Amino acid sequence: MNKTIKFEDLGSKDFKETWDYQEQLFKAILDTKIKNRREDAGLETDNHFLFVEHPHVYTLGKSGDLSNLLLSEEQLREKGATFYKINRGGDITYHGPGQIVGYPILDLDNFFTDIHKYLRFLEECIILTLAEYGLECGRSPGETGVWLDVGTPFARKICAMGVRASRWVTMHGFALNVNADLGYFDNIIPCGIRGKAVTSLNVELGNEKVDETEVKSKILKHFKILFEAKLV
């Protein structure tokens, strides 16, 4: 079992280019697994973890409802945003500047073969990170992601999640709002959930700009501990 994870921070990168790169890494792991099964090759499978910030983009999961996008093609262009229907779970979400997007591309055979546990670990990683900023976050029953004030009229989502898995290999991941322009969420019904707000770390801390490099280092720290992994 290879618990070493190759880490890359891609900086600001187009969504489609990053999606293609994810698919490339994902396919390479699957190809190794298939070779091992067919030829008993005994090859180690790689694991990857990408950080990225996307230009304004809306993405819709494979089971999502297009009516949750409240903009026409022309309005998307006016806002400088793009739109993609993609192969992860979940409904519609927004990515953009001021948001930390994490894409773990892991062979869960190297860790544990349980998608439910995997999603809970991703959530826990963000919950522990935000606790370091004095925020008490949690989960909302039946709704993936990380929330504040769950069970109150003030419930608001700070981190969205959506993954794809095949043969225990994962892709896609989470999007944590750190210094995000929340106005872009007004153009969708986030994750298809009506009547619940979206927030960002800087808003919760009094609208002070947050050091995103520091947030990333905290995420990586908790990710390594939870997955008992080594990042290189």
Please identify every residue annotated as catalytic.
Answer: 191
Is 95 assigned to a binding site? Answer: yes
Is 7 assigned to a binding site? Answer: no
For residues 220 and 229, what is the distance between their CA atoms, to the nearest angstrom?
Answer: 10
Is 206 assigned to a binding site? Answer: no
Is 90 assigned to a binding site? Answer: yes
- Main-chain dihedrals φ then ψ at residue 151, nearest 5 degrees: 85, 5
For residues 20 and 86, what is the distance between their CA atoms, to the nearest angstrom?
Answer: 11
Is 89 assigned to a binding site? Answer: yes
Q: Confirm if 8 and 47 have CB atoms less than 8 A apart.
A: no
Is 174 assigned to a binding site? Answer: yes
Helix 212-227 to helix 115-131 angle (10° resolution) is 140
Q: Which residues of 97-109 are buried (b: 16+ CB within 10 A; e: fewer)?
A: ebbbbbbbbbbbb
CA atoms within 13 A on the CB side of 191: 23
Q: What is the DSSP string of 22-86?
A: HHHHHHHHHHHHHHHHHH---PPPP-EEEEEEPSSEEEE-TT--GGGB---HHHHHHTT-EEEE-
Is 80 assigned to a binding site? Answer: no
For residues 32 and 49, what is the distance between their CA atoms, to the nearest angstrom?
Answer: 18
Is 112 assigned to a binding site? Answer: no
Residue given tokens 């390479």 in the structure block? 28
Is 161 assigned to a binding site? Answer: yes
Is 92 assigned to a binding site? Answer: yes
Q: Which residues are known binding-site members for substrate?
A: 88-95, 160-162, 173-175
Binding-site residues, in ranges, read: 88-95, 160-162, 173-175
